[in-house]
Amino acid sequence: MSTQGPITDAGGEIAALVYTARDRPDLVLCDCAKHLVESGRRVCGLIQLRDRPPGDARRKLMDLDSWRIVDVARGDDAAGNVRCSVDGDWLYRMARRAEASIRVGVDAVIVNRFGPLELAGRGFRNAIVAASETETPLLIAVPEFEFEHWTRFSNGMTTRLDCALDPVLEWWHRVASPGATKPKRDPRACELFK
């Protein structure tokens, strides 16, 4: 079995927003998406906000293609352990839609998380590969404990960013193409997360 990951030449267009338990990557991703849309860029992908009041088991996700917010319920497994009940078919459709948007042409892609699904060839794996193949800038949140897996997955061909908006915007200005499309989404949607 080959250990080579699917990314062969990212040219710096793909950046890993590496975070720890004390960071708030969802807010950084949301602020980045808002900045890009306000500057006339078309963005696709998915953001999940894990920040919520204590005792609130809901998960909010935003589809950046439609700027639609979805509440994802949580449930208990047979042993009574709380587990996320994200519908696998829904997540697959979101990933396929992001991949299609990338292939048609967007200015940037934001992916909520890199983790076990992508390592197993599912989740947003194909969207990440499509961004690499089309040289579309992609920002993905990577937990620090998964960074070694990410490095193997990406063949080390990506930029590592601290979990803050300033490094993300500095990276964006380095890799962004000069042309911008007209805003298609309401950038105030991210305010619903705050």
3-class secondary-structure state, position 109: strand
pLDDT in tens, 128-175: 999 999 999 999 999 999 999 999 999 988 999 999 999 999 999 999
- Counting Cα atoms < 13 Å in the Cβ hemisphere of 48 gives 16
Instruction: State pTM to two decimals.
Output: 0.81
Model pLDDT, residue 1: 39
Q: What mean pLDDT, rounded, does the chain reach?
A: 82
**Closest to 61 measured CA to CA, from 51, 48, 45:** 48
- Of 11-20, 21-30, 71-80, least confident by mean pLDDT is 71-80
